[in-house]
Amino acid sequence: MSSSSTLIAQRYRLIRQLGSGGMGRVWLAQDVKLDRQVAVKEIIPPKGLTERERTEIQLRTLREARTAASLSHPNVVRVFDTMNIDDQPWIVMEYVPSRSLQEVIDTDGPLPSVRVAEIGMAVLAALRTAHKAGVLHRDVKPGNVLLADDGRVVLTDFGLATFDGDPQVTRTGLILGSPQYISPERATEGTSLPESDLWSFGATLYAAVEGRAPYARANALATLTALVTEDLDPAPNAGRLQPVLDALLRRDPAARLSPAAVERLLRRAVPKVPPQPGP
């Protein structure tokens, strides 16, 4: 979609591009029916896919919309609509004026551990809501954590999410997700568990304080090899966040702490602010 004046589904007028990735673009758009700004996700399948693979991408896109729309939480982006135009899927979402955590890391450098703990509590709340509804995100990473201008922290992009019991819509041999942030069990066995999201969450917190993912290497293959064979790189900037990283970045999913226990550790990482004296 090249024109910023295009009207999608006779309702959403594209204003400007907000971002792009390997699977498409996100646009700021005006909902001319309700007179509000929204974010419209344009899915552009990679070239060279078979008809079956293109169909799988369409199904996955619809699943993202259904998944996110089923969740009601201030730390989860809201989905309003979905469309299929010329066999190309689109998703209409809440527009959150923000920068992603990845953008903040790239622009400003690593964040203080206390601030990362605060962000972590919001992301964990979103994950707990999703897991309680039987939804696995499967792509938790800094690029999918939005730091809104109004102070909210929002988990977005449920494009790889699944419901418990749903069939996986994937190509044989294809690892979906970001190599630097997928869990060891997903890398080696393709297994997705709530604990897998927690591992990716831990890797995201690690990246926020250190400026890079815990097993980041020169390429995807080297990263995945390090993930399953090497010890965790030290996190010298973790500070009070170190117990949280230790609890989440364990290779054995069963050895990772529960979300409730992780929340307690995160709260300990945020200094208590004494009450201000009254007038």
**Long-range contacts of residues 179-183, Cβ cutoff 8 Å, at least 24 apart:** 179/220, 179/223, 179/224, 179/227, 180/141, 180/207, 180/213, 180/215, 180/216, 180/223, 181/139, 181/140, 181/141, 181/207, 181/213, 182/227, 183/253
Give the single-character DSSP code of 272: P
Query: How many C-alpha atoms does 21 have within 13 Å on its Cβ side?
Result: 11
Q: Nearest CA to 39 among 67, 84, 8?
A: 8
Strand extents, DSSP E, the chain: 7-8, 12-21, 24-31, 36-43, 79-85, 88-94, 98-100, 135-136, 145-148, 153-155, 162-163
CA distance 196 to 175: 14
Which amino acids are annotated catalytic?
139
Give the single-character DSSP code of 84: E
Q: Nearest CA to 207 among 250, 157, 145?
A: 145
CA distance 162 to 254: 21
Q: Which residues have a Cβ under 8 Å from the Cβ of 73 and sit 6 or more positions away?
A: 125, 126, 129
